[in-house]
Every structure is written in structure tokens, then in C-alpha cells.
Structure 1
Amino acid sequence: MNELFQNVAENALYVVGFLGIIVVLFVTAVFLEKAARKKNGITEAVFSTRKMAMIGLFSAIAMILHLLDFPLPFAPPFYKLDFSELPILVGTFAFGPAAGVMMEFIKILLKLFVKGTSTAFVGDLANFVIGCSFILPASVIYAFRKNKKTAIVACVTGTLIMTVFGTAFNAVYLLPAFSKLYGMPLESILDMGSDINPLVSEGNIVSFVAACVAPLNLIKGVSVSVITLLIYKPLSPIIKAGHRG
């Protein structure tokens, strides 16, 4: 806990920026959810006591899955796959986009209290933002028209956006940030990719993110989407008991 507070103090400006991104995404989610509710004639409040309790539950499950991450053979070991978006996508389909952003934030917050940060919050910001790039578009599409066909379109759209955004975000921000944080030349990080994956050209960041990052995000998005589409309908009556919309 003391180490976490020390990290916050040492990276105060970065943490403020992180919180600013969270606020922007949350406000956007609330606005879009209200628009969907108005279109569908739903008058229930965006948040209720029961919904907040369910958000806490799904966030805790997501945090546990987040801790159970594992590397993949085609990417350097600091890239790991986890399925923390699975309970969040299920919960977001049930309770809306604003709940999804809240669950992503609470998941990261719980992880920080349990495990702390080894990346000065860079990796935590990445997980939150890239997770939202999947959850937010998928949940917004589904919120406007809730049926199986729309759910499929929502999952496909969310997966594609996460794959494209996550790949670009790594190339433009994350890899340079990690290079600066650890005092390691960017070329050395890229060489870690070319040593593992023959599709990565030596010193080429575009081939690195295309061959290492894009497949990881695609695998995650497809896996989470397929499982969600299989389990959401049977679970929905239980999850949404006493909740309308």
C-alpha cells in the first residue's frame, strides 16, 4: 500500500492525466447511454443501488481474471493475455455503457490495491483505455437495439476497434513510454519481438505491433465475444432480476 501511494506521488502529473481520461470516457458513456434509453423509452435511472452492487461484483471477478494473465508465444513476455473483459462485457450488456467504464476503472483500482503497479501506471492506463475501446463501442451499439443480431454486430465492432486502436496506441504511445520508463532503447524492445516472431522486421515498430500486438487483441476480442454470446442469454434473467433496461 505504501509503495502504491509512493508511485502516485512520484507520478502525480501522469495520474491526473489518467483520471482525466477516465472522466472523459465515463461522461461520454453516460451521454450515449441516456440517448439509447431515451430512444427505447426507458425512464429508469442510469444507476441504482442494485446495479452498483452488481458492478462491484463483476469488477471483482474481472480483477481476478486480470491477475491470471499469461504470455503468448508470438509476443515478448511483457505482453500478456487475460480475459478480464469477459465479466465486464456481460455486465455492460446488462447494465449499459456507463457501467462498463465503471467496471473497467474499478477493476484497475482493485488490481492496484492488491498487486500495485510495476510500470508507473503506464500498463494500467493501457489496460483501461484498450479495454474501454472494446467495451464502450460494443455496449453502445447493443444499448440502442437489444437483440442477438445486434449483439453479434456489437461484439465484432468492439473487437475490430480494440484491435486497431490497441495496435496504434502501442506504436504511438505505449512502446515509447515503456522505453523511457525503463531506460531501454526502443530498438532493444523491438528486437525482443524479432527474436520471438519471424514476422517482425528488426527495428521496425509497424511490423512489431502488427505481428505481436494486433493478434493478441484480436484473440482476446474474439474469445471474449464468443463466450459472451454463448452465456449472456441464459445468465441475463438472473443478472437483470429487478432491473429494467
Structure 2
Amino acid sequence: MSAKKLTFMAALTAISIILVALIHFPIFPAAAYLEYDPADIPILIGTFAFGPMAGIMITIVASLIQGLTVSAASGIYGILMHILATGTYVVVAGNIYKRNKKRNGTILALVCGTVAMAVMMCVANLILTPIFYGVPVDVIKTMILPIILPFNLIKAGINGLVTFIIYKTVAKFIKL
């Protein structure tokens, strides 16, 4: 891996952390702990620019740093959930995008990544939330359709849309 590529990846990681520190707010008042943040946008940019493996690396580093600093209240649970959510998004979107970098391929990548992330978070909530917080699985099941699925579709959808709008412009500055 070149020093230039590593530098861009580190910069995108830093931007992700800054974004989550500056911009985060609940989408559903009934589940105020589920907050929108644009932290996945620079991670998706890194994924499209450098491939899905780079996206995973950026995701893991950003998740760890965020989970130990700006999102420390959620602890290891938050770190794991972020890695699972964003990791799923970048693997799916990154693998589709690397095969078709045209407009339609980019849209397909972001839509599929959004859906994959939302599904992953439904499953992750059913498994990890009872383990970490002792919430019964039946309670989580009642939250899937009205809260967890829509939240993740909205969050990933917004981040995908913003990435789609800005990626080609930003990519001009990331030349290796």
C-alpha cells in the first residue's frame, strides 16, 4: 500500500470521526438512542476510491476511534454495531461498484449496500442487544419494522445519496 493511499485513507477516517462528533441527531423520538450521523460518507468515498478492503480498514479504524472518543458511551456494543453496519455497507457497495463504476452501477451499489446494512442491523439487534443490554428478543422483534429497519434505511439512504452526489467531484482530488 502506497504512502499516498494510506494518507488519503487516514484523512477519510479523520473526517468520518469529525463528522460524527459534529453532526448527530435522533430520527425517531421514540428511539432517541438511534442517531443519524454522516460518518459513513467518507468511508464510502474511500471504498469507491480504493476498494472494499480499504473500506473495511477505514471502517474498523474509524469505529474503534469513534467508540473510544466521541461515541464512548456506547462502548464495545457501539463499536461492534458500527463495524457490522458500515462493514456490510462497504463490502456490498464496494464489490458492486468495482465491477461497474458507471452511474447505474453506482446507484445499484448504494441501493444494495443500503438494503444489506438495514438487514444486517435487524439481525445484529436481535442477537447483540439482548446480550449487551439484557433486552428480551421479543422486545427487539417488536422494534424491527417500526424503528430499526426504517432508521437504518433512512440513515444509509441519506449517506448513500450524499456520497452519490459528491463522489465524482471528490474523486478528482484522490488521484494515486
How does the TM-score come out when normalised to structure 2? 0.90
The answer for the alignment partner of 2:170 in structure 1 is: 235
Amino acid at match of 2:61: I
Larger deviation, residues 73-82 vs 50-59: 73-82
2:72 aligned counterpart, secondary structure: coil
- Bigger helix share: 2
Rounded to whole Å, the distance in 2 between the matches of 1:128 and 1:75 is 24
Q: TM-score, normalised by structure 1?
A: 0.66
Q: Is the 1:134–1:162 contact (alpha carbons within 8 Å) kept by the matching residues of 2?
A: yes
Say if 2:146 is the partner of 1:211.
Answer: yes
Percent of paired sites with the same residue: 30
- The one-letter code of the counterpart of 1:106 is V
Structure 2 counterpart of 1:145: 100
1:56 equivalent to 2:39? Answer no
Correspondence list, 1:1-245, <5 A: 47-67=1-21, 68-115=23-70, 117-171=72-126, 173-180=127-134, 186=135, 204-239=139-174, 241=175, 243=176
The CA deviation string for residues 143-188 of structure 1, in whole angstroms up to 9 with x for no partner, is 12221111111001000101111112111x22202323xxxxx25x
Aligned pair count reads 175
In structure 2, do the counterparts of structure 1 residues 112 and 170 end up closer, same or farther at CA, with 3 Å as the change threshold? closer
Q: Distance in 2 between matches of 1:94 and 1:109?
A: 22
**Partner SS for 1:238:** coil
User: How far 1:120 moved relative to its partner?
Assistant: 4.1
Name the residue aligned to 1:39: none
Matching residue's letter, 2:82: N
Alignment deviations for residues 86-142 of structure 1 (CA, whole Å, 9 cap, x no partner): 111012101111110111111123224434733440111111111111111101111
Are the equivalent residues in 2 in contact too, given 1:96–1:139 (CA < 8 A)? Answer: yes
Task: Give the letter aligned to residue 51 of structure 1.
Answer: K
What are the ranges of 5 or more consecutive residues in structure 1 without an aligned counterpart?
1-46, 181-185, 191-202
CA RMSD of superposed structures (Å): 1.9
CA radius of gyration, larger in? 1
Unpaired runs of at least 5, structure 2: none
